[in-house]
Amino acid sequence: MIGHSCILIVAVAEIALSSYNRAAKNIMEEEKRFISGIVPPSERTGPAWWFAFLESKLLIYPGSDLVSVPFLVDFSELGLIAVSQHYLGHLDDRDCYAVELAEGTVLPPGIALEGLRQIYGRLDETLFWVATRAVQIVDWDRTHLFCGRCATPLRTKGAERAKECPICGQLHFPRLAPAIIVLVERGGELLLARSRHFLSGMYSVLAGFVEPGESLEEAVVREVKEEVGIDVKDIKYFGSQPWPFPHSLMIGFTATYAGGEISLDDSEIEDAGWFTADHLPRIPGKISIARKLIDWFVEKKGSSPKKAIP
């Protein structure tokens, strides 16, 4: 009997693990066709994808259901002025560029500007994730004009995604703010919380920025303790996702309840509780790793998410 139990446990563990890996793998599938690059080709032989931004809004061709981005040999074909242009790499065999539009740009008919969150699900998924790179490069470029140490105008550093101060030599790289996001399980339940700035009725898994000097696992333990007052154990890596609002990298984990009662950090969290897979509140949309964590839990429990926004 003991032998059979072991086999069963191993089999269940394998099913759970394969589901876990699949959920995590899917996060990055969208980007597998994109190869990052910094130095543009010396000659452009065909059309390229152009990700042009005014502030954080992307220039698109709107459609009734779907939107697209310009696919042109040169951005100047649109008759718009680019303040800066950055090579991003190539998608399949097509080059990709990020462009910053001049303030006050007047768009010709048939072109619009929209926020990235608003176009998720309407722009091709792969193009969408390239756009999330583009918006961060443009944002970094326009907010790093001068050296933070000596205030000298910066110059681009050759073949690196970096800027260099010509006086003091200080290097300035694109900003990236790592944040952990964690699904906490207790038996057949998961912990969901409601932040004060969430959409009405929406709950999600806990997340928070990593502090300097802190490991990701320490950040998981601290955030859960600070926000809802409980202890966690068995912290396992789930997957990661760029989150360009404005420049985060979400690193996903699962963890198991280890003790304590829910006690809210009132400044951050409005409500929190334990939920089962078949009685979920409103949860985040499919763009987020939060949703992928919740979907993984629901799939593991053999149910389908309810009340989810698309």
CA dihedral 99, 105, 106, 110 (to 10 degrees): 10
Total residues interacting with Zn ion, rule: CB under 5 A? 8
Pattern 130-149, Zn ion, x by CB under 5 A: -----------------x-x
Q: Which is nearer to Zn ion, 35 or 171 (CB)?
A: 171
Which one of 165, 180, 183, 228 is in contact with Zn ion (CB under 5 A)?
165
- The answer to whether the Cα torsion of 93, 98, 102, 105 is positive or negative is positive
Q: Which is nearer to Zn ion, 175 or 279 (CB)?
A: 175
Count the neighbouring beta carbons within 10 Å of the beta carbon of residue 211. Answer: 11
Residue 171 touching Zn ion (CB under 5 A): no
Q: Which is nearer to Zn ion, 21 or 152 (CB)?
A: 152
The least CB distance from residue 152 to Zn ion, in Å, is 5
Residue 186 touching Zn ion (CB under 5 A): no
Give the range of 68-76, 158-166, 183-191, 227-235 binding Zn ion by CB under 5 A. 158-166
> How distant, in Å, are the alpha carbons of 33, 38, 215, 295, 301 from that of 232?
37, 41, 15, 21, 20
88 closest CA partner among 122, 136, 56: 136
The answer for residues whose C-beta is within 8 angstroms of residue 239's C-beta and 6 or more apart is 23, 24, 25, 27, 28, 252, 289, 292
- Round to whole Å and give the CA distance between 306 and 222: 30
Cis peptide bond N-terminal to 178, omega within 30: no
Which one of 28, 102, 150, 176 is in contact with Zn ion (CB under 5 A)?
150
Residue 155 touching Zn ion (CB under 5 A): no
Residue 85 touching Zn ion (CB under 5 A): no
Q: Which is nearer to Zn ion, 169 or 260 (CB)?
A: 169
The least CB distance from residue 144 to Zn ion, in Å, is 12
Residue 170 touching Zn ion (CB under 5 A): yes
Residues 200-259 that bind Zn ion (CB under 5 A): none
The least CB distance from residue 138 to Zn ion, in Å, is 23
The answer for residues whose C-beta is within 8 angstroms of residue 97's C-beta and 6 or more apart is 40, 48, 49, 50, 51, 75, 85, 86, 87, 88, 134
Applying CB under 5 A, which residues contact Zn ion? 147, 149-150, 152, 165, 167-168, 170
